[in-house]
Amino acid sequence: MKRSTLFPVVLVALCFPGAVAAQSQAARVVRLVPSTDRLAVAVGQQTPFTVRAVDASGADVDATLRVTGPRDAVRINDGAVTGLSQGEYQIVATLVVPADSGLQPISLSVPIVVSWPAVEALSIDAAPGALFVGTTLAHRVMASHADGSVRPDPAASWASSDIRVAAVDAFGNVTGGRPGQVSITASFEGRSEAIEYSVQPFPGTALRLSRGPSEARTGDVIRLAAIVTDAAGTQRADVPVSWSHSYTATDGMLGVPATGQIGADGAYVADIPGIHTITASAGGLAARHTFLATARDVVQEVEIVGHGLEDWYRTTDLWVFEGVDGRDYAITGSKISGGFAFFYDVTNPAAITKVDSVQVDARTVNDVKASPDGRYAVLSREGSTNRRDGLVILDMADPRHPVVAANFEDGITGGVHNMFAQDDYLYALSNGDKYVIVDMTDIYNPRYVSEYNHPDSRLHDVWVNEGLAYSSEWGTGVVVVDVGDGRWGGSVEKPVFVTSYATPSGQTHAAFPYYQEETGKTYLFLGDEIMNRRGLAWAGYPGSMGSYQDRYDPATGTGGIPLVTRGYIQIVDFTDPENPEMVARYEVPEFGTHNMWVEDDKLYQAYYEGGLRVVDVSGELMGNLYTQGREVAVFKSASPVGYTPNATMVWGAQPHKGHVFLSDTNSGLWSVKLLPKTRPIS
């Protein structure tokens, strides 16, 4: 069973009449009383839960409480807890006390068990083809609940009505033994489903493979066709073919890990250099193809060009753009800084020059964007003093001295975490619940147009491309909406849902759609964000999840320990939006992903402690790009005088006019350049 420790998800503010009154109320509280001392709920269902603050007499105190739980496991609001992910967890309630009050925050912990709902129905999905003697068909079972949700990876039990006719293994692979009728049954949690087969004699007399390459690079996808013919020379497309691969090490390649990956259709990608053999078999027939995989050889050196150091606040996102004056500029946000955004002239990337700053009513400016035409910029707001978070629109007629054009709050007062800017429209998140579309034709009079709120889903980010909005919605995955593409009848005035795709991690944080000219495919790069390493051997520095402030001395600016993260990039073939398929990943062990950019067949990935990673994403993508030699460059930004000294924490990266700009939470704005593989001789 999955277990988890605390991760805050919600603040329940019973009342906050002012600092003095809040301190007085908090001082009266002697204990917290939960409505129950133990909780149990099924995934997708709710159970009531409240916490009361009481004084010495047992009377209720109108104080502010923080009620939290793992955000990927439970949702807490409106006096109820909703189960999101199966496992055992803890809900923690804490009395909020004013800063410098001298009061100790009282807290309590309530265990909660989140279980799966009962299985309502099973279905069996079989691989294409008929079942013949000596051939194997793969099967998988799908278990659904009454609400239509699907149980991930159900461990079904498989059985054959006659193992002499066909045998089935524990994973649903059915192999024909002799001609006859047979029933294959899958059972799971009291439900059963069966599929019937008439096993026929094997008709094939020959098996051959289509011509393949004698040499390929690691990471190149090789596709071979297996052709089975019968005694009459007729091609038998109904005969299932099994695929396997083997590897012969060349000098220096002994003791390697996995050497490649093969799909059910025979598509193969080599991870490491050496001699690779692909084998197709059916009945008693077999055919093989052997080729040499050579190193991909895409590595380029990185040159540090410029650095705009910041050490008194944590830098958040960045946006680099060409201003209306023809010069190049960068905007950065800041975390828990009092609402600052900073503006840099980066026309000369070697001389990054801060030219202005704008302070808004916010605790954090998480996201910054500029319109493609450079006409306006926007700053997100979170934690404003009046609790009406929205966004600030800036007139960029003079990019060196931005002017506030408007504050926009219509429909987005719950806090704006991310945005996406087009010339005429802006997409702004509202309290992690929905995004609002704003008409930006007149930046001094922005106008609410419409909104999209996906049901029962938490929203983190949105990216718009060619009339489709791709919103990253954690456990729901990526949600795609027609906001102008038109094929599904959508427009900015009337957004229309197209599809959603849930990732295995359930932590979809960012999405970047990319059309690859070489293959004609559209790939979706979906990034996780997991701010812990629980359960792994390297879980982080001791205390890194609970006592960071105890280790950091704000008076001297010394101490502190880096945060720890995990997660990876999941790559989906989105060429057919209604039939997306997961095909590849980019996963660097022991680090976690954040924002990304894809341009000219290169992925520019902000990998938090893993630094800036530049990855070759040319050609068809399959398998783990990290193991295929596709990494072009790695740059770990760190400064001995950073917010957290000597600690890399890359938040975002963006290529611009031959350079790569990146923001590091601990050290500010950087510019680097990839050096050509072949340099001129001086």
- Hey, where are the domains in the chain? 19-115, 119-199, 204-294, 302-674
**Any idea how long the chain is?**
682
User: In CATH, what class is 19-115?
Assistant: mainly beta
pLDDT at position 6 is 37
| CATH topology classification for 119-199 | Immunoglobulin-like (2.60.40)
Cα separation, 186 vs 193, in Å, equals 5
Residue 193 has pLDDT above 90, yes or no: yes
Average pLDDT of the residues in 262-286: 95
**Is it true that 19-115 and 119-199 share their CATH fold?**
yes
Q: What is the pLDDT of residues 363-405, one digit of tens each?
A: 899 999 999 999 999 999 998 888 788 999 999 999 999 999 9
Concatenate the DSSP letters of all residues of 300-360 into one string: --EEEEEEEE--SSEEEEEEEEE-TTS-EEEEEEEESSSSEEEEEE-SSTTS-EEEEEEE-
* Helix, coil or strand: residue 95: strand
* Residue 12 scores a pLDDT above 70: no
Q: What tokens does 463 get?
A: 């990216």
pTM reported for the whole predicted model:
0.87
pLDDT given for residue 147 in this prediction = 86
* Residue 581: both structure tokens together: 């398929």
Adjacent-strand bridge partners of 404: 394
Tokens for 190? 């009291």
Q: Is 666 helix (H, G, I), strand (E, B) or coil?
A: coil
Q: What is the DSSP letter of 3?
A: B
Q: What pLDDT is attached to residue 509? A: 95
Are 314 and 643 contacting, i.e. CB atoms less than 8 angstroms apart? yes
Residue 549 identity:
Q
Query: Which pLDDT score, from 0 to 100, does residue 256 have?
Result: 65
Residue 253 is predicted with a pLDDT of: 62
330 burial type by CB count under 10 A (0-12 exposed, 13-18 middle, 19+ buried): buried
Those residues whose C-beta lies under 8 Å from the C-beta of residue 195, and which sit 6 or more positions away, are: 124, 126, 139, 183, 184
Separation CA 52–CA 64 (nearest Å): 10
Q: Please determine, looking at this structure, whether the domain spanning 302-674 carries the CATH number 2.130.10.10.
A: yes
Number of CB atoms found within 10 A of residue 372's CB = 11
The predicted model gives 487-508 an average pLDDT of 94
**For 145-185, how does the pLDDT look when each residue is reduced to its tens digit (9 = 90+)?**
998 888 988 999 999 999 999 999 999 999 999 999 999 99
Superfamily name with CATH number, domain 204-294: Immunoglobulins (2.60.40.10)
Q: Dump the DSSP string for 396-455.
A: -SSTTS-EEEEEE-TT-TB----EEE-SSEEEEEETTTEEEEEE-SSTTS-EEEEEE--T
Q: Tell me: the pLDDT tens digits for 294-347?
A: 999 999 999 999 999 998 888 999 999 999 999 999 999 998 888 999 999 999
Confidence grade of residue 252 (pLDDT, cut at 50, 70, 90): low
